[in-house]
Amino acid sequence: MTDAATQIKSQITENSVVLFMKGTKEMPQCGFSSKVAGVLNYMGVEFSDVNVLADDAIRQGIKDFSDWPTVPQLYIKGEFVGGCDIITEMTLSGELDTLLAESGVAFDKDAADKIREANA
């Protein structure tokens, strides 16, 4: 396992929810990262953010690790969930609520419902 893969594995093992993104949850540096971080922040999900722009090895390493070509990438309880489009679809369908609940991750159900209402 490469050094980047070891760091990635450590991040997703030690944190219940991890978002590999461009920028940080406080200051996303791309629209897709901003959208996913915004959903998680709005829903009150505690998550660790990993800024792939700060480390080229992690930026490429996460793509190799997941076999997924783009960032952001969301992991819940060590499992790769998806990127921006998948997280958006899961949020709007309620699947993200179910996954978070089944994984024992706290979130604000009312906030999740408001997202769906606003996008209905």
Give the residue numbers spanning the domain of 82: 3-118
What's the CATH code of the domain at 114? 3.40.30.10
Across the range 104-120, mean pLDDT stands at: 96
pLDDT digits (tens, 9 = 90+) for 60-69: 999 999 999 9
* d(C-alpha 73, C-alpha 80), whole Å: 7
pTM of the model: 0.95
Q: Which pLDDT band holds residue 1 (cuts at 50, 70, 90)?
A: low
First-last CA distance in the chain: 44
Q: State how far the alpha carbon of 20 is from the alpha carbons of 43, 58, 59, 60, in Å.
A: 18, 9, 9, 11
Look up tokens 């829903």; give the residue: 43
Look up tokens 């959208």; give the residue: 35
Length of the chain: 120
Q: Is the pLDDT of residue 120 over 90?
A: no
- Total number of domains in the chain: 1
